[in-house]
Structure 1
Amino acid sequence: MSLSGILLVDKPKGPTSHDVVEVVRKKMNLRRVGHAGTLDPFATGLLVIGIGNATRILEYLMQHRKVYRVKMKLGLITDTFDITGRVEEERPCIATKEEIIQAVNSFVGTYVQIPPAYSAKKYKGERLYELARQGKIIRLPPRQVTIYKIEDIVVEDLTVSFIVETSPGTYVRSLCMDIGYKLGCGATALELRRLRVGPFQVEHAVDVYTASAEELSKRLIPMSKVLDFPKVWIKNEAREKVLNGVKLQVDDLLNYEHFEKEDVVQVFSGEELVCLARAERRSNFIETLLRQQRNEIVLKPLKVFKEN
């Protein structure tokens, strides 16, 4: 059986997220490898990689909150919003330390952010940083983002560092620029490191450039331990039914956690995650169906995980 699972990678500065995926693909001699939540070449830190069937659950991991450590310089404006770009303007910054800290903290909450033109986001199939290198600057529409928390703010002259927790889709480089604009001087990110994606921490990540294929295999997190959707356990005889994409009925269930109608649930056969399913009934209603001996449909398979 082919490998499946989640690999936590500590991406170095320089490579693209796709470059890191290619390293994993070649080292482990696997075709099905992908990542959840791109890191720009400039950034370092936690990159969540899916292998085998786990590539099919990456979309759910992209919805997690992210935590970053960032260092920025006030009074410096570049075309990429980070230090790798072309300097467009330098302005004096006359704000006091207290005013800088106040400006940083003022962004906690929800606001409308303009994505940087130079980023790993795609436009018509091409990465924006590739288009920018060709001299084609694409301006994306503003989007609403949420800054949940900012802490550990350190101000040293014009250099400011802090740790920030964001909603998915937030650009920390844009946040730096927005803070700079609020202070009237602009700002550019000097360093950016992703520390956490949901429950996953960079402390548990591996350097794929130095690790062996055997070590990477050992570091895989099983799919059964990755998602936080409600769990349902089915009878042994229902396993083939699931693998063929057939809807599950009351009599197929062995045990279950609480879930609501329309929830995504994890379906287990023993300890094996065999599929993700959409609930067509509330779990509280199952007892009623049992009492009335109504063997009705409860779950509709969404993603079935057959052996590769």
Structure 2
Amino acid sequence: MRTLTTEAGILLVDKPAGLSSAQVVGRLKKKHGCKRIGHAGTLDPMATGLLVCMVGAATRLASYAEAGSKIYAGTIDFGYVTDTDDIWGEVLNRSENLPIFSEVCEGAKKYCGQLWQVPPRISAVKVRGQRAYQAARVGKPLKLEPRQVYVHKFDLLPVSRQRVFFRVHCSKGTYIRSLARDLGADLGCGACLSSLRREASAPFSVSKAKPLEQLGVADLQHWSRLFPETPRLDLDAWEIDRLRDGDQRLLGALSLTGSDFAGAARLVYADRVSGRACGLLVKRQDSWRLAVNLS
């Protein structure tokens, strides 16, 4: 019988507001009796939407799952500055001098493309091993350095004089709370995030996710779906066995220079007979290396 304790794969959770990402993982572990579950990309407790969870040996692929671009939607409120850069924090300043929608749109143009962004002081960013939110809660906020991110699109729609709806397509590591904070600062009135939903974390969409209480082993997706455009390398069973045993010399003997693999940075290798994906190869300094074996 299939259970999460015997499988390696991916669960797509539609996270509710009010739970941290760690709490979602904890509930999955308790419900399914599986100790080896992790998430790929933290969502703030009050945010909703797609949380990609890795199960079993697939937890070794978490760094790949985190790396995909993200799509977020939500609302920004103008006229407030808070200590958390969202409406759930302590209000530090208020302003009645609210911008018109055209001014908001013009200001948002600055936040498309490559940016240097300072994370919120209440965040999971680590400095010398300490989480920023932990330091802030004991009254010793950390100095957070700007980080480079990329915003592909920043679309806006008016909701009211004080509030706009947004949809942002961005790189891993982009803080939407920081976008709201910085846009409000530029407009001279302050702003904070008032709602947030993750709609996608490439290659996955929240449309394929389920609420926490509805997820079961039948919803477990094969780990190879994380690499939909990655070329596949078919191997014989004895070659897969050698890779599993750590024999890197095999890779030097394989022909990996054909047109099918030109420009590829990684390959999913599969059993030639069954078609079952067994692991991942990556290219480093013109040489192929075994990254993860999941056979």
Provide TM-score, normalisation by structure 1.
0.85
Spell out, residue by residue over 1:202-256, the C-alpha distance to the aligned partner (whole angstroms, 9 max, x if none). Answer: 1111111x22xxx421111101222143211101221211211112247667998
2:231·2:264 contact (CA, 8 Å) conserved in 1?
no
1:235·1:252 contact (CA, 8 Å) conserved in 2?
no
- Give the structure 2 partner of residue 295 of structure 1: none
Q: Determine the C-alpha separation between the residues in 2 that align with 1:254 and 1:114.
A: 42
Instruction: Report which of the two structures shows the higher radius of gyration computed on alpha carbons.
Output: 1
- Give the structure 2 partner of residue 237 of structure 1: 238
Match of 1:267 among 266, 269, 277: 269
- Give the structure 1 partner of residue 61 of structure 2: 57
Counterparts of 1:50-129 in structure 2, within 5 Å, are 50-129=54-133
Count of matched residue pairs: 287
Tell me: CA distance 1:241–1:176, structure 2 relative to 1, closer, same or farther (3 Å). same
Q: Determine the C-alpha separation between the residues in 2 that align with 1:257 and 1:3.
A: 34
Q: Determine the C-alpha separation between the residues in 1 that align with 2:28 and 2:128.
A: 27
Shift of 1:19: 0.6
1:40·1:120 contact (CA, 8 Å) conserved in 2?
no
Q: Determine the C-alpha separation between the residues in 2 that align with 1:140 and 1:52.
A: 34
Tell me: CA distance 1:279–1:73, structure 2 relative to 1, closer, same or farther (3 Å). closer
Counterparts of 1:134-145 in structure 2, within 5 Å, are 134-145=138-149
Aligned partner of residue 156 in structure 1, secondary structure: coil
Tell me: CA distance 1:94–1:237, structure 2 relative to 1, closer, same or farther (3 Å). closer
- Give the structure 2 partner of residue 226 of structure 1: 226
Segments of 5+ residues of structure 2 without an aligned counterpart are none
Q: Determine the C-alpha separation between the residues in 2 that align with 1:152 and 1:180.
A: 14
1:46·1:202 contact (CA, 8 Å) conserved in 2?
yes
CA-based RMSD? 2.4
Q: Determine the C-alpha separation between the residues in 1 that align with 2:224 and 2:148.
A: 33
Q: Does 1:130 align with 2:138?
A: no
Q: Determine the C-alpha separation between the residues in 1 that align with 2:74 and 2:86.
A: 11
Provide TM-score, normalisation by structure 2.
0.89
Q: Does 1:154 align with 2:164?
A: no
Spell out, residue by residue over 1:151-199, the C-alpha distance to the aligned partner (whole angstroms, 9 max, x if none). Answer: 2422411111110111111000000011101111110111111111012
Segments of 5+ residues of structure 1 without an aligned counterpart are 283-297
Spell out, residue by residue over 1:263-296, the C-alpha distance to the aligned partner (whole angstroms, 9 max, x if none). Answer: 22111113222221234798xxxxxxxxxxxxxx
Name which of structure 1's ranges 1-10 and 12-21 shifts more when overlaid on structure 2: 1-10
Tell me: CA distance 1:273–1:163, structure 2 relative to 1, closer, same or farther (3 Å). same
- Give the structure 1 partner of residue 192 of structure 2: 188
Tell me: CA distance 1:15–1:122, structure 2 relative to 1, closer, same or farther (3 Å). farther
Tell me: CA distance 1:122–1:43, structure 2 relative to 1, closer, same or farther (3 Å). farther
